[in-house]
Amino acid sequence: MKLRHLLLLLFFIGPPIRAQDLVVDRATVYASPAAPAIQNATIVTHSGKIAKLTRHPVAPKKNATVVHCDGCVVCAGFWNTHMHFTEPKWNDAAHARADRLATQLQEMLTHSGFTSVVDTGSVPANTTALRRRIESGEIPGPRIYTAGGPLPDACHPVLPGRPSPRSGAQLGQPETEADVHALAERNLAYGADLVKFFTGSYVGRGTVVTIKLPIARRAVEDAHRHGEPVFAHPSNAAGIRVAIDSGVDVLAHAPIPPTAWTMRPVA
């Protein structure tokens, strides 16, 4: 792991301090899982980025925050590569109280050491507003990568054991490639970093609707043209096959139940 990518959990346990210098001394530092620990190290950060890592004492600049880390370990922050900002508490994130959002982020993510997260589907306006407030330094929180609204947007799946979000209505997939293209462009306009779509969607207990392969391919092509990776929710073996044949990059879920499918090894 490159030094500039080392993320300190200390950024997320107090008020926003990204705009000022931070000095952590007397620390044991693990720069990567493969590297030996660096004992009694001093770390200097500026504007949220590591500027120096040394075994020698450093005279802090004026107004810098100094943290004495005797007995502490500093390591790269954790990634949560599948989560959602879909609960009502994230609604109207652009105007919600900063202290409430900060507490929610800490309880959900940062107290466990997650400093980067991948939101695989949420309300784009809420998630991008939350991300802007974190990046501005107003709210301490993780780096957020988001899929925005999952595609196909017209199909909100009914997961086993959960009620339908629309009173049990069996919702269909987009009818044309143009539908998926328009939805993908809308997500891009909101600032999505990746595309997530359902190659197989539960629309009732035991009933999975599989997206048509040309529509799936159009979604993947649109995303890749913009340099975005594609995540798929397959739900069953047929959904996995569509994901593979359309060129999806990541399977965001295993099918339910996982024993319901087998795949032959590629020669």
Residue 182, Ramachandran bin (φ over 0: left; ψ between -120 and 50: alpha; else beta): alpha
Residue with tokens 């993510």: 109
- Tens digits of residue pLDDT in 116-146: 999 999 989 999 999 999 999 899 999 999 9
Handedness of CA 90, 130, 193, 254 (dihedral sign): negative
CA 171 to centroid of chain Cα atoms: 26
Cis? peptide before 157, omega within 30° of 0: no
221-260 pLDDT, tens digit per residue, is 999 999 999 999 998 888 999 999 999 999 998 876 665 5
The number of beta carbons lying within 10 Å of the beta carbon of residue 182 is: 13
Tens digit of each residue's pLDDT (9 = 90 or more) over 41-97: 999 988 777 889 998 888 888 888 898 988 888 988 899 999 999 999 999 999 999
pLDDT at 3: 38
What is the tens place of the pLDDT at every residue in 150-167?
Answer: 887 555 555 444 444 443
Which residues in 6-110 belong to E strands, given as ranges?
Answer: 22-30, 38-46, 49-54, 65-68, 73-75, 78-83
Determine the 3-state secondary structure of 261 from DSSP.
Answer: coil
Q: Which two tokens stand for residue 197?
A: 């779509």
Instruction: Output the pLDDT for position 203.
Output: 73
Share of the chain above pLDDT 90, in %: 44
The matching CATH number, chosen from 3.30.200.20, 3.40.630.10, 3.90.70.10, 2.30.40.10, for 3-76 is 2.30.40.10
**pLDDT at residue 169 greater than cutoff 60:** no
| 126 touches 137 (CB < 8 A) | no
Choice between 8 and 196, residue whose per-residue pLDDT is larger: 196
> Where exactly are the structural domains of the chain?
3-76, 77-146, 150-267
pLDDT surpasses 50 at 12: no
Q: What is the CATH number of domain 77-146?
A: 3.30.110.90
The span from the CA of 114 to the CA of 9, in Å, is: 8
Q: Is 60 exceeded by the pLDDT of residue 9?
A: no
Residue in the structure block whose two tokens are 């301090």 = 17
On whether the CB atoms of residues 196 and 151 are closer than 8 A, the answer is yes
Report for 28-37, 101-110, 159-168: range of highest mean pLDDT: 101-110
**For residues 44 and 65, what is the distance between their CA atoms, to the nearest angstrom?**
10
Asked if the model's pLDDT at residue 168 lies above 90, the reply is no
The CATH number of the domain covering residues in 150-267: 3.20.20.140
DSSP H/E element including 196: strand 195-198
Q: Is the pLDDT of residue 262 over 70?
A: no
Q: Is the dihedral of CA 172, 177, 183, 184 positive or negative?
A: positive
pLDDT band at 261 (very low <50, low <70, confident <90, very high): low
% residues pLDDT > 70 (the chain): 79
Contacts with 216 (C-beta within 8 Å, 6 or more apart), sequence order: 197, 199, 242, 243, 245, 246, 248
pTM, two decimal places = 0.76
